Amino acid sequence: MKPIAFLGALIAFSAIAACNSSSDNSNPTTSTAIAEGATPRASCGTGSLPEQGMQGRVSQADHDSGLAAQGFRCNTELVGSYMVPNAIGTVGGFKVERYVDASGNECAYYDSTLLFPSNALDLNVGVNVLDMSDPANPVLSARLLTPAMLSPHESLVVSQQAGILAAVMGSPAFYPGIVDVYDLSADCRDPQLQSSALVGVLGHESGMAPDGKTFYSASPGTPTLTAVDISNPRLPMPIWSGNYTSHGLSISNDGNRAYLASGNGKGVLIMDVSEIQARVANPQVREVASISWDNQTIPQNAIPFTRDGKAYLLEIDEYSKAQGGEGGGAPAVAAHGAVVGAGRIIDISDETQPRIISNLRLEVHEPENREAIAADPGAQNPTGGYAGHYCNIPTRVNPDIVACSMIISGLRIFDIRDPYNPREVAYYNAPVQPRVLTVPAPASNWAMSSPAFVAERKEIWYTDGYSGFYAIRVTNGAW
């Protein structure tokens, strides 16, 4: 097999292998179905260059006419970017984080690939550190090249309270759980390595207590969830490991709850981790509740927030599956499958009885539309296509919006001030760049990252696997 073809096949195979390896899904505690249908689409104001047809679609006709090369935007504008022109491999990854140090220096951090070492072809390895003093002109100030930073997969995370950046060495399947910890507090532009140690187990995803004292190493393919005490970042110590699979996990503000996406095969598993947070000797964890849903694909992450004092989870599934997928004899991931998990809001005001109250979906995710868009560029990428991947919110208290990377459909922004009735208010789908390597997907958007926010400037930062880092601004009062 030619090297370039092999690389593309490796990207596709490895990602599928990881995501097919979830654990038991035979006994979800709760299964909830709500009204079908896409989230109401945005009304685009001045300066927009809106999509031409179906919500979220970039068709072959859009490519042929040159519209895709211009990109699509609705109530957004580009502020700045850090791109790799005509990239060969993948040059943007799964997480974007922001941190402002005590001197007021403002920085962005992002992993620079969807699969290490495909970014080596573009001399773009490691976690990129951008000086965002002028967001219109991001400047690369450092590259972090320690083991976990070379291949963090989906585990890069920052504690705003502690000024700590950490990741576990990971892959779509798993890598040895080397955990790297950096101090950002003195100068965010020049992170200082505190430790790099084999204290996690088989990395892929992660979580961190907001106080920055506990890092969780997670894998959806192996029951190896591990809590690592990083309160002394120079001396990280594993303090608990449990028989739990987990994709992404978020930790409550007090550190006492863990929200596991794909936790032991459930949609979301809520766990009491207060004994870990309190550093009880031989800590025990307790399952509080779980929830699954009818169109579940692979739950990626679940983030707690409150609105008007009521508690919710924002959850996002990745990819698509065939009808009757996992549990029905078909693979958990399909190339342009009929079932797209996408996003949802879950009421956890009674955490023992979680309840789905609304969905975050585009028209391209709806089963009745899948056949019509099957031949669109990139639609058949099993680890891409028209599907969701990550969502994030600017604050955990009364967030007005949620921003989601929805792969070919780019960055999508929803108003969630009424969590029961979200509506799309803006989007940014970057101009499609030319490609030399066209496997596993031809030139298209490949937006997979968890975004970061600058609320005071209405900016959202995210990355695209095929082009790099973007800072965009929401306009026309949409946020």
DSSP 392-454: E-S-SBS-SEEEEE-BTT-EEEEE-SSTTS-EEEEEEEPPPPP-S--SSS-SS--B-PBPEEE
Between CA 241 and CA 254 the distance in angstroms is 20
Given this model, what pLDDT does residue 325 score? Answer: 60
pLDDT of amino acid 97: 98
Q: What is the pLDDT of residue 1?
A: 32
CB contact burial 82-114 (16+ within 10 A = b; e otherwise): bbbeebbbbbbbbbbbbbebeeebbbbbbbbbb
pLDDT of residue 197: 97
* pLDDT computed for residue 196 by the predictor: 98
Low-confidence ranges of the chain (pLDDT < 50): 1-29, 31
- Measuring CA to CA, which residue among 235, 279, 225 is closest to residue 255? 279
- What pLDDT score was predicted for residue 85? 87
- Residue 13: burial class (beta carbons within 10 Å; 0-12, 13-18, 19+): middle
Please tell me the predicted confidence (pLDDT) of residue 173: 80
Q: What is the pLDDT of residue 26?
A: 39
Alpha-carbon gap, residue 288 to 142, rounded angstroms: 42
Question: What is the chain's alpha carbon radius of gyration, rounded to the nearest angstrom?
Answer: 20
pTM above 0.85, yes or no: yes
